[in-house]
Amino acid sequence: MGRWQDMSGEELEEQYSPSRWSPRLDPDAVIEAHEEALRAGTQRARTTTHALLHVPYGHGDGEKLDVYLPADPSGTFPVLVYIHGGYWQCLSGVYLCGHSAGAHLAAMVLSTDWAEYGVTPDIKGAVLVSGVYDLEPILHVYVNDALNMSREVAQRNSPMLCLTGAVPAAAACEVLVAMAQYDSPEFRRQSQEYCQALRSAGWTVSLLDLAGVDHFDVIEKLSQDSYILTQVILNMISRA
């Protein structure tokens, strides 16, 4: 496949529309199934954990998070911060896990020079699933109709362009970049190139190509104990 710059507008629209690439269901149905899977998983989590819902971390209506604690929260335990996807619009010892646009946000956390803010987050690991790490192609597809990003904004917020060789957290943080077999070629290219860029910048990083899953069930299956990505995340946490 050639560079994204050589693609027509129609080709880019297709590449950055993950629902068109699922072999399981048609585009509308796979999104509906994904939303239902997330609702069901959330409900299961709320019935099996001690849940603190809609905790504000800012002043905006969308600046809230849900906290799920063990049923018996005594003792110490790792924290996994999950950032959902939805092209930054839909679905509204520390470890990061992000899916799709959520993987972009998690990658931006890794790219931030936290010394400027007077803090040193102890991020032990990050799992980036089917993410977008270079936003410039997004300028040319339907997603930007709502985002209205300029080229300067896209470049400033592209993890691929924010890496340096002197990231203090690089040595301590283990990064897993995961992609689905049925992600579009552009999504797969972005994962592969971002993984290589992290490695070149001195990060401890590995690439996981997950067979038999698309852009949506690649993350839905985390509720299954036997799913390889579930096992990889648990192993990453247990090694800390």
Instruction: Select which of 34, 99, 104, 215 is catalytic.
Output: 215
Question: Of these residues, 100, 158, 184, 191, which one is catalytic?
Answer: 100
28 is known as an active-site residue: no
- Of 104, 134, 158, 183, the catalytic one is 183
Written as six digits, the tokens of 64 are 């809230």
Q: Can you tell me which residue has the tokens 């409900």?
A: 43
Q: What is the 3-state secondary structure (H, E, C) of the chain?
A: CCCHHHCCHHHHHHHCCHHHHCCCCCHHHHHHHHHHHHHHHHHHHHHHCEEEEEEECCCCCCCEEEEEECCCCCCCCCEEEEECCCCCCCCCCEEEEEECHHHHHHHHHHHCCHHHHCCCCCEEEEEEECCCCCCHHHHHCCHHHHHCCCHHHHHHCCHHHCCCCCCCCCCCCEEEEEEECCCCHHHHHHHHHHHHHHHHCCCEEEEEEECCCCCCHHHHHHHCCCCHHHHHHHHHHHCC
**Is 215 in the active site?**
yes
50 assigned to active site: no
Q: Indicate which residues carry an active-site annotation.
A: 100, 183, 215
